[in-house]
Amino acid sequence: MKKNPSMTAVATVASIVCATFVYAQCCTTVSGQEYRLERRVVTEPVTHTTYKKVVETQYVDEEVTTYETVWETQKRERRYTIARSVPETSVRERRVTVQRPVEETVMRDDSYDKTILVPETSEREERSVVLRTVYETQEREVVENRRVPVQETVLQERRYTVSKPVTTFATQTVDRGGYVDTQTVTPGRTYNRLAWQSGGTYVNPNTGQSIWRVPGLYWTPMTGSPQVQTQTVYQANYVQETVPVTTMVQEQVAEQVPVIQTSYRDEQVRRIEQIQVPRTVNEEVVRRVPVTTYKPITQRVEQHTPVTVRRMVTEERVEEVPVTTMRTIHEERVEPYEVKVARLVPVTKTVRKPVRVEKWVPVTTTVDRQRIVVNRVPIESERIVNTTDREVHTVAQPAEMPKVIETTDEVFPTPATDPADTVPTI
């Protein structure tokens, strides 16, 4: 079982006081006068000043340099070599054996016999019965139903939708941030360990009372050293920009368009028309037909035709033949082109950075302190009666007021809860 150090200290002080009191009553004599010592406890206020750590947040202006990407257009040249074929014409001799045609004119006899038909004309009669169509004219009444078109011009309203461009300016948020190096502080691990603490008075943070602490080993919270890490973090920088936005707004347009409408009206027309009615009549026809007969007569036709005869004559010729050869020429060409190059432009901005500042603030507390005051009181007379049943002590009243003959600064510690009595939770 764990003992309370405060209660132990109180018991020790009480035993010392009792022993001193007995010894003083028995042994205090001055010039034959006996005195007794009377002790009392006096409470006095004592002021203690402690310091409390206070963390404040202060804002410090710090310049931060970020880099923005700017695209530039640069003109460059690309050199390359091409192979081009150039024709070259040369002449060379070629011996060829050819056959040349030679023409000769020869008279050829093409005489022939020709038979001529001589026509002789005579007439003869032919009788025949033919059917002849005779047309007679008759009248009849015809009734017709007609649909007569009637055209009218009407103004018709036509509606259509027209899209018109409308330009508005909208504000949008654009991130122009960049990567910056930031330091992250990781606090050390907090743990409890047994440590030696000297005796003294301290203030209990839970109750706010001043407590006497006996020297010894106590569970004390310890904090390890913090760790600082540097990390590259993307820092956003939101900028408001005004961007023109063109939208197509639809609008209803109405116009009057002349339209020609055609309607049909039924009407009845009566007319008298003449028609030809055919009728067939038998008729005898007599006609004289001329008859032609041919009598053949033979005649001799003399004909001499000049004929060109072609014969081939062999001869040798020398020809100049043009020969085209292709020669490859290498040419170097320069082609300009444009390239977009990204360039980082430093932009310096002032940023308010929060900084935590620790300072110690004095805290004044007042605690009641108890001390023992010893008074020496002279004894006038004393009568002691001993009986078997009881023991009676009669002490005469002092003749004068008690005087303070000795003081001590010994303090009775007030029993309170000590942090060392509590088992820490790890």
The answer to whether the CB of 244 falls within 8 A of the CB of 108 is: no
Q: What is the length of the chain?
A: 426
Per-residue confidence (pLDDT) for residue 422, from 0 to 100: 40
Q: What are the percentages of helix, strand and coil residues in the chain, rounded to 5? A: 5, 80, 15
Contact 217, 195 (CB under 8 A): yes
For the full predicted model, state whether its pTM sits above 0.75: no
CB 206 within 8 A of CB 180: no
Average pLDDT over residues 138-144: 83
Q: Name the DSSP letter for residue 205.
A: T
Q: What is the pLDDT of residues 288-327, one digit of tens each?
A: 888 888 888 888 888 888 888 888 888 888 888 888 888 8
d(CA 174, CA 236): 10
Catalogue the long-range contacts made by 245-250 (C-beta closer than 8 Å, 24 or more residues apart): 245/167, 245/168, 245/169, 245/170, 246/165, 246/166, 246/167, 246/168, 247/165, 247/166, 247/168, 248/163, 248/164, 248/165, 248/166, 249/163, 249/164, 249/165, 249/166, 250/161, 250/162, 250/163
Q: What are the tokens at 154?
A: 């009407």
Query: Of the candidates 17, 48, 80, 32, which has an alpha carbon nearest to the alpha carbon of residue 368?
Result: 48
Task: Reply yes or no on whether the pLDDT at 52 is more than 50.
Answer: yes
pLDDT tens digits for 177-211? Answer: 888 888 888 888 888 888 888 888 878 878 878 88
Per-residue model confidence (pLDDT) at position 175:
84
C-alpha distances out from residue 394 to 25, 68, 193, 390, 400, Å: 15, 104, 59, 13, 18
Query: Dihedral of the CA atoms 227, 228, 229, 235 (nearest 10)?
Result: 130
Q: Name the DSSP letter for residue 421.
A: G
Mean pLDDT of all residues in 71-76: 89
Query: In Å, how far are 219, 324, 368, 417 from 208, measured between CA atoms?
Result: 20, 117, 13, 11
Residue 58 CA, chain-centre distance (Å), reads 36
Which pLDDT value is given to residue 12? 54
- Which pLDDT band holds residue 396 (cuts at 50, 70, 90)? very low
Average pLDDT over residues 390-412: 41
Determine the Cα–Cα distance for residues 378 and 181; give it in Å rounded to an integer.
85
Q: How many CB atoms lie within 10 A of CB 6?
A: 19
Tell me if residue 224 falls in helix, strand or coil: coil
CA distance readout (Å), 328 to 82, 85, 87, 88, 325: 10, 4, 9, 11, 10
Q: What's the Cα-to-Cα distance from 134 to each of 144, 273, 274, 283, 285, rounded to whole Å?
A: 29, 19, 16, 11, 16
Reading phi first (left if > 0) and then psi (alpha if -120 to 50, else beta), residue 404 is in: beta
Give me 201's structure tokens: 């008075």
